[in-house]
Structure 1
Amino acid sequence: MSTDSLPPALSRSVLKYRDYRLFLLARLLVTAAIQIQSVAVGYQVYEITSDPLQLGFVGLAQFLPMLALILPAGDLADRFNRRTILLLSCLLEAVVAAAFFALTVFKVEALWAFYLVLALFGVVRTLSAPAGQSLVPLLVPPEHLSKAIAWSSSAFQTATIVGPALGGGLYAVLGPEAAYSICFVLALLVAVLFGMMRVSMAPRDIKNSTAFQRAVAGIDYVKAHPIILGAISLDLFAVLLGGATALLPVYAKDILQVGAFGNGLLRTAPAIGAAVTGLWLGYRPLNQKTGAWMFGCVALFGVATVVFGLSENFVVSFVALIVLGASDMVSVFVRSTLIQAATPDAMRGRVSAVSMLFVGASNELGEFESGGAAHLVGTVPAVVIGGLGTLGVVGLWMWLFPALRKVDRLSDVKAGEEYRSA
């Protein structure tokens, strides 16, 4: 049954499921911790070096472990209890926060030490990402999946509103030690929440296949379904080119001159737009011309990136980042729903791993690309060129993936089937 045919009261009842409520709270808190930590690390590294290229290496240090481990992590999510994987990942995140706290307290300024801890953080995120994405369909009935994903995305974006502002404020008033302490406590609390969940999944022993065959099965599945491939690759190249957020410390300190607290506010702005859009989608999911909406919003993402890149006014920059986040949220919603709806549960971990590889490349590798481009041609030209590149990608992908552009209702996409536009 489609959620669109359900009565309004029933369509909003996704929050009545206990494990899903625990998952939402856990996602909210762990994302806030990650955002607080990211703001603190980025600004701390830039204060030590005053070199935007080093911000690029912050992203690269997190991406390389993902590149190496994400496919095996997807295999783990399909074979073992996803809740347990997430619980262990939170305990490792507490170790990461404690390590950053130690580096700060002992006044370590050797960048290799920061990059080493960031690499460990990349390992933690890699282990947790496929399990987290593929856990949601186990928490709610299929008819509630699109709304569950929308609420989950909204919780994520709400945390990215609170997290950066809190991280910037803590850094400015109490120093990075306070930010890392909060991250440590939140990670332990989230581990407790996952421990309270009752959902379980029997371990799957996939016979007659090697670990390598199981790991690459997700790639084969994505290749066989061009709609999924088009959605995640569009996000990859659009955000890879339009990764303005990686350079926010440069804008906050040198261009807009608003300091550490202003840096936190700028990091919050995209999340404001995304959270509001996510809440709206939670109540009113896209019911028609979904593919066209996705492409239009990615184009708007590129325009907002150009405006931000050229702005020297804090208010204009803040509003541009809000629009950027709102438009990106539509792409996230469509991509996430497509992946879960078009993939059988036995494959969800591995397909989610492929998606996270693309997302990680667009975010962490995008940070490296933005930092390197800013080092070579300057910060403002790098951001503007990236935004224009995003617009070019939209046009090219509309031509390469016409079936994605013609997707009407997300409920028409079924697991294991290739969608054919009318």
Structure 2
Amino acid sequence: MSTDPGSNDLSSPFVSVRIKEFRLYIIQRFFFVMAMRMIGTVVGWKMYEITRNPLAIAFIGLSEAIPAISLALYSGHVVDKSDKRTLLFRTILLYFTSSAALMFITLHNTEISLGKNFVQYALYIVIFCTGIIRAFSGPATSSILAQLVPKIMLPNAVTWSSSTWLSASVLGHASAGFLVAYVGYTGTFVFILSYIAIAAFSVFQIERKPIVHSNRGQATWESVKDGLRYVFSTKELLGAITLDMFAVLFGGAVAMLPFFAGDILHVGPIGFGWLNAAADIGSFAVILTLTFYPLRKKQGLILLFVVAGFGVSIITFGLSQLYFLSFIALLLSGVMDGISVVVRGTILQLKTPDNMRGRVSSVNSMFINSSNEIGYFESGVAAKLMGVVPSVVFGGAMTLLVVAVMWFKAPSLRKFEY
């Protein structure tokens, strides 16, 4: 781990970016996340086009969540006993293969010759495979970060990593809508495959990392239980994960965006792409601000307030019938979520020992990342039972309820500072 001259100025907002391997890390993170976000947008719109059924879209999330959740704890055990750089490189290559399969499935000739039912169920199968890949790529991506920068630089590195993730999400969501409209599904997947190739090349240039703690002699289940015990015994970490998990689970308005864009706001694929990107634009703006003006105190209390603000924004979006107001509501939800991402991500990095980063990251992935997909499913089922608008309002209200419960049940989180 080497730094450029002048990197010892720890007060600089660019202190972690001066490290070459961290720069390679954020390059791969940017292009890989952008590709994943584009796939999510493209698959969601394709499913909307061929089915016009909220449950069909809901099952996309479930298809990815089932393997991601099922393998999450085991993947943490694997990550901790593996060279994280090599594991991450392999998962990116596997994602490239899955993306190529999606390009074939979305070909116009495929739909004509094999039918819409084939396209629908083939999409579910490939997304299921990407869920398996994500079960390993998520913990590997998170846990390798601490091997790229000194611990004192971790808060700065987490902020840069989060801003990279969100800027990629913005461009991925928005550009996918434009590309589908102007160059079609095949042209869009050409861009996606190119981005994944850039991510793979960037990771390949990072040196292989030593295994901090080999758990080869430990039974798999015992290793997994160690990770669970640590998370559940670290109250600040558990509180932050739980709060964010339920907020994402119940505030998943994104799953119903195709219906808001197509049936309520009547804005088509381009408007859909911008609505998809709105929250990420807000998150990116606030995280960029936090890079230069980091939170100095009362981070736990701020976390509770911003998650409540997220719930209010989701309720506003659900009730809105104006495109501009809907966009602003999602933008503000992203601002709130961006602050939450930085606080939770910093708590995760600072409170996790090096020898348990894979397992703790996998628990975090199981609770947080997979709750996005489960949230998709919950939103689809709720929309089918209640209607699209009531289901989104219900989700925002439940988010407020979760904050109220955590306010009283997790006083250590409310008082936490770093």
Flag whether TM exceeds 0.5 (same fold).
yes
Give, in whole Å, the separation in 2 of the partners of 1:218 and 1:332: 21
Contact in 2 for aligned 1:93/1:184 (Cα 8 Å): no
CA shift, 1:125, in A, is 1.1
In structure 2, what is the Cα distance between the partners aligned to 1:152 and 1:205?
Answer: 26
Q: CA shift at 1:156, angstroms?
A: 0.5
User: What's the CA shift for 1:10?
Assistant: 4.0
CA–CA separation in structure 2 for the residues paired with 1:104 and 1:287: 48
Tell me what 2:362 maps to: 353
Is the 1:294–1:330 Cα contact (8 Å) retained in structure 2?
A: yes
Following superposition, the deviation at residue 8 of structure 1 comes to 6.7
Moved more, 184-193 or 395-404: 184-193
Q: Equivalences for 1:93-132 in 2 at 5 Å?
A: 93-105=95-107, 106-107=110-111, 108=114, 109=116, 110=118, 111-132=120-141
Moved more, 229-238 or 207-216: 207-216
SS at match of 2:17: helix
Q: Which of 308, 313, 332 is the matching residue for 2:322?
A: 313
Q: Which residue of 2 aligns with 1:80?
A: 82
Q: Percent identity?
A: 37
Residues 224 and 203 of structure 1, relative CA distance in 2, 3 Å threshold: closer
Shift of 1:209: 2.0
Kept in 1, the 8 Å contact 2:81–2:216? The answer is no
Q: Is the 8 A contact 2:31 2:195 kept in 1?
A: yes
What is the match of residue 209 of structure 1? 218
What is the deviation of 1:68? 1.2
Which residue is equivalent to 2:14? Answer: 12
Q: Is the 8 A contact 2:250 2:395 kept in 1?
A: yes
In structure 1, C-alpha distance between the alignment counterparts of 2:64 and 2:241, rounded to whole Å: 20
2:5 counterpart residue number: none
The residue that corresponds to 1:248 in the other structure is 257
Alignment match, 2:299: 290
| CA deviation string 1:371-391 (max 9, x = no partner) | 110011100000001101100
CA distance in 2, matches of 1:212, 1:115: 30
- Measured in 1, the distance between the counterparts of 2:321 and 2:68 equals 35
How do 1:203-282 residues align onto structure 2 when only pairs under 5 Å count? Answer: 204-206=213-215, 208-282=217-291
Q: How far apart in 1 are the matches of 2:149 and 2:26?
A: 12
Q: Which runs of 5+ in 1 are unaligned?
A: 1-5, 411-422
Q: Give the alignment's TM-score, normalised by structure 1.
A: 0.93
Aligned AA (2:145): V
What is aligned with 1:61? 63
CA distance in 1, matches of 2:38, 2:214: 39
Q: Distance in 2 between matches of 1:318 and 1:269?
A: 6
Offset at residue 177 of structure 1 (A): 1.4
Code of the residue aligned with 1:148 in structure 2: it is: A
Moved segments of 4+, more than 6 Å: none
Which SS does the other structure have where 1:174 is aligned?
Answer: helix
Distance 1:202 1:348 in 2: 11
User: What's 2:380 paired with?
Assistant: 371
Match for 2:168: what amino acid? A
1:34 aligns to 2:25 (yes or no): no
Q: CA deviation at 1:134?
A: 0.8
Alpha-carbon distance in structure 1 between the residues aligned to 2:250 and 2:176: 26
Q: Is the contact between residue 302 and residue 390 of structure 1 (CA under 8 Å) also seen in structure 2? A: yes
Match of 2:47 in 1: 45
Q: 1:90 to 1:361 in 2, by over 3 A?
A: closer
Structure 1 residue 7: Cα displacement: 5.7
Question: How big is each residue's C-alpha offset from its partner over 1:343-380, in whole Å with a ceiling of 9 and x where there is no partner?
Answer: 11000110010000011332000000001100111000
Asked if 2 retains the 8 angstrom alpha-carbon contact of 1:19 and 1:199, the reply is no
Q: Is the 8 A contact 1:230 1:401 kept in 2?
A: yes
* Displacement after TM superposition at 1:178 (Å): 1.6
Q: What residue number does 1:172 align with?
A: 181
**CA-to-aligned-CA distance 1:173-223 (integer Å, 9 cap, x gap):** 121112222211211221111001125123743255201111232111111
Q: Check the 8 A contact 1:37/1:179 in 2, yes or no.
A: no
Residue in 2 that maps onto 1:323: 332
What is the 5 A alignment of 1:327-406?
327-406=336-415
Alpha-carbon distance in 2 for matches of 1:247, 1:123: 24
- Which runs of no fewer than 5 residues in structure 2 stay unpaired? 1-7
Give 1:138's aligned residue: 147
Matched, 1:196 2:198: no
Report the secondary structure of 1:200's partner residue.
coil
Q: Alpha-carbon deviation of 1:247?
A: 0.7
2:311 aligned with 1:302 = yes
Distance 1:9 1:306 in 2: 39
Q: Is the 8 A contact 2:80 2:211 kept in 1?
A: no
Using the alignment, how far apart are the partners of 2:293 and 2:145 within structure 1?
19
Q: Report the Cα distance in structure 2 between the residues aligned to 1:251 and 1:8, rounded to whole angstroms.
A: 46
